[in-house]
Amino acid sequence: MNRRQFLYAGAAAAALLGRTRGARAAAYDLIIKGGRIIDSSTGFDAVGDVAIVRGVIAAVATDIQGDASETIDAHGRIVAPGLIDIHTHAGRSKEGPPMCLQDGVTCWIDAGSGGADNVDQVAAVARGAPQMGRILVNIARTGVIAPEGELHDINSANVALAQGAIARNRDVVVGVKARLSNNVAGANDLEALRRAQEAAAPFGLPVMIHVGQNYSPLRSILALLKRGDIVTHMYAPGMNGILDDKGVLIPEVMAARRRGVLFDFGNGVADHFDWDTVEKATRQGLWPDTFSTDWNTQSKTSGVVDLPNVMSKFIMYGMPLSQIIACATVNPARIFASFDDRGTLNIGAPADVAIMELREGSFEFLDNYKGVRTGKQRLFPAGTVLAGKRVAHA
Ligand SMILES: [Zn+2]
């Protein structure tokens, strides 16, 4: 037992004593037993148990004694903090959030489905979701228009209207989204981003930009980003991406990362990544800060499938499992204040837990151009605990 495990066990014993003095029959409400616990927020990675009392984590230790009202057998499974997906379109319909909850996603962000004209509906879905849902307001008043693109008329990027939408949904809005790819914004990309920053500034909110085949050079776009802003679809191939025409990472990308700009995977279905760009960029040291799916209710039947499948794409490239889990738990939790207490199995934290199975075999993974890579391991969702309660399998 190393020092960290010892500390966890000590806390477990303290929690147990606290419980047995009480009048309740069971010491714990729920114990998740015998899984490989990977909590990237502390570096904890060992086989053990997670005990939950009244919706919060009460103990994490190699063997927790004491009875529980309910036990989940997690032998042979991975037990991680509930997953956080920062780029989804789960807010488009009330069917979305319960679907991604099945995949282990206990916090999601709808990234710009709605703008000033229609974001109130997205906000209502977020408020009604079983798990924590948050939203980014699209700088275009219409929200996403696909495939035509919502920023070809720059007048759609109305700062005052966007600020009004943020103000009336302040409880669930965590940022502003601007889709800047050529098919969405054309030559309006830089001006749309300036307006997104202007809309976000009085609220101190980050801006997430969607890039890919941009009209303007990426260095000009990155120059308009501040610490805490996020670039999604980071591995988008084609013109004005992260690589120059010789396949070399442009220096402005790492410079942006050094000053606190974050890079998100953003799987999606069209034009957002290809294996060649992933391989060239990771060889030059550009790994994602966060994974996200760009999820919608059709994702099960696309190359997305679910967030654990998206995470598995990087197992194939040798990213350590603890780092992969960090990109879907503690890293996104650190970006958005709403998730401060999430992405961790710390004692006292809300008991959101993702149980996954790491299967060995031969698994095909898709990029957005029908490119296939075959990996030897894949994570599958195998259960979700939300606020201390087991989520029923749909
Ligand atoms: Zn999206």
Measured in angstroms, how far is the CA atom of residue 9 from the centroid of ligand 1? 42
Residue found by looking up tokens 């916090």 in the block = 107
CA of 141 to the centre of ligand 1 (A): 16
Sheet containing 262-263: which strands, arranged edge to edge? 83-88, 105-115, 132-138, 173-179, 207-210, 230-232, 262-263
Q: Please give all residues whose CB falls under 5 A of ion ligand 1, grouped by chain where several chains appear.
A: 294
Rounded distance from Cα 85 to ligand 1 centre (Å): 11
Distances (CA, A) of 336 to 9, 260, 294, 296, 331: 30, 14, 17, 21, 9
- Rounded to two decimals, the pTM is 0.93
What 3-state class would DSSP assign to 195?
helix
Radius of gyration for the chain, computed over Cα atoms and rounded to the nearest angstrom? 21
Q: How many angstroms separate the alpha carbon of residue 120 from the centre of ligand 1?
A: 18
Amino acid at 65: Q
pLDDT at 18: 47
State which H helix or E strand residue 226 sits in: none
CA of 111 to the centre of ligand 1 (A): 6
CA of 322 to the centre of ligand 1 (A): 26
Residue 268 C-alpha to ligand 1 middle, in angstroms?
A: 7
CA 94 to chain centre: 19
Q: How many CB atoms lie within 10 A of CB 24?
A: 11
197 CA distance to ligand 1 middle (Å):
19
Ligand 1 centre to CA of 157 (Å) is 17
Q: How far is the CA of 226 from the centre of ligand 1 (A)?
A: 21
Residue 17: burial class (beta carbons within 10 Å; 0-12, 13-18, 19+): exposed
What does the pLDDT read at residue 119? Answer: 98
Give the architecture (CATH level 2) of 3-80+382-390: Roll (2.30)
What's the CA-to-centroid distance between 221 and ligand 1, angstroms? 18
From-to residues of CATH 2.30.40 in the chain:
3-80+382-390
In whole angstroms, give the CA distance from residue 15 to residue 243. Answer: 52
Q: What's the gap in Å between 87 CA and the centre of ligand 1?
A: 6
Distance from C-alpha of 237 to C-alpha of 272, rounded to nearest angstrom: 7
Which superfamily does CATH assign the domain made up of 82-339 to?
Answer: Metal-dependent hydrolases (3.20.20.140)
User: Which residue numbers in the chain have pLDDT < 50?
Assistant: 1-7, 9-22
Predicted local distance difference test score (pLDDT) of residue 24: 52
Which residues of the chain form CATH 3.20.20.140? 82-339
Q: Residue 212 C-alpha to ligand 1 middle, in angstroms?
A: 12
